[in-house]
Amino acid sequence: QSALTQPASVSGSPGQSITISCTGTSSDVGSYNLVSWYQQYPGKAPKLMIYEGSKRPSGVSDRFSGSKSGNTASLTISGLQAEDEADYYCCSYAGSSTWVFGGGTKLTVL
């Protein structure tokens, strides 16, 4: 149950697109299309943004999209806005009814 690998930080200017990667192994990300992504503001509870790799819950902006290639999942935010500045976490099913999170990525909107 080793944590998934995310970049510590990413940044972008308003209107740009950014992508956050989430690298796991063939035992988690690579084996299941069950990656989810969470947005977290300081001192707040996380919010589900993407589930099952690429699906958006009701109410989540279509500027957020998810994808996967091999052992790496990605979250793309298009049309970056100031309100997108937050921490982002990926999570994957890891088999045997266990889940593993990434270390988190701090997104800065310049």
Candidates 22, 71, 80, 93; binder of another protein (CB under 8 A) is 93
Task: For the segment 14-73, give every residue that binds another protein (CB under 8 A).
Answer: 34, 36, 38, 40, 44-48, 51-52, 57
Q: What is the DSSP string of the chain?
A: -PPBB--SEEEE-TT--EEEEEE--TTTTTT-S-EEEEEE-TTS--EEEEBTTTB--TTS-TTEEEEEETTEEEEEE-S--GGG-EEEEEEEE-STT-EEEB--EEEEE-
The size of the interface with another protein (CB under 8 A), counted in residues, is 26
In whole angstroms, the minimum distance from the beta carbon of 16 to another protein comes to: 25
Enumerate binding residues for another protein (CB under 8 A): 1, 3, 34, 36, 38, 40, 44-48, 51-52, 57, 89, 91, 93, 96-104
